[in-house]
Amino acid sequence: MRFNTRLVLKDYKGEEIIQYVEKGATKFEIPLTFQEAIINILNGSLQNEIQTAEEKTQSYIISRKVYESDEVNLTPKEIAFIQERSDKVANSLVRGILYDMFENPSKETTNPQTG
């Protein structure tokens, strides 16, 4: 299934979800995109969580795939893996948005021209 990686995620009110990024002493507020959400989920872990080498490798492979393009084609197995990781490390809002996107893709979520 194809997804627009540049799509900005929106909250319950339809407003952009903002993430706070620090680079040195400077703080930035930037919209959270599908791409950033997936990369954060796949590269995040819980304290005391032990991931297998296979899980780490799968996280790296999928995050690279998502990072490298404005549009990504994810397999059902990759989607299931992202959902499994989001169950562990994503907040409920982001997790819910991603589940909605995966279960009910719309033209907006699959077309890079709309992001």
Domain span including residue 74: 2-110
Identify whether the C-beta of residue 109 lies closer than 8 Å to the C-beta of residue 101: yes
Query: Does some domain include residue 78?
Result: yes
Model confidence over 3-48: pLDDT tens digits?
Answer: 999 999 999 999 999 999 888 999 999 999 999 999 999 998 888 8
Whether residue 84 lies inside any domain: the answer is yes
Q: Which two tokens stand for residue 83?
A: 């959902």
Return d(Cα 70, Cα 66) in angstroms, integer. 8
User: Is 115 within the bounds of a domain?
Assistant: no
Q: What is the number of structural domains in the chain? A: 1
Q: What is the pLDDT of residues 41-99, one digit of tens each?
A: 999 888 888 899 999 999 999 999 999 999 999 999 999 999 999 999 999 999 999 99
Distance from CA of residue 62 to its chain's centroid?
10
Say if residues 29 and 15 touch (Cβ distance below 8 Å): no
pTM here is 0.86
- Residue 82's H or E segment, with its range, is helix 76-89
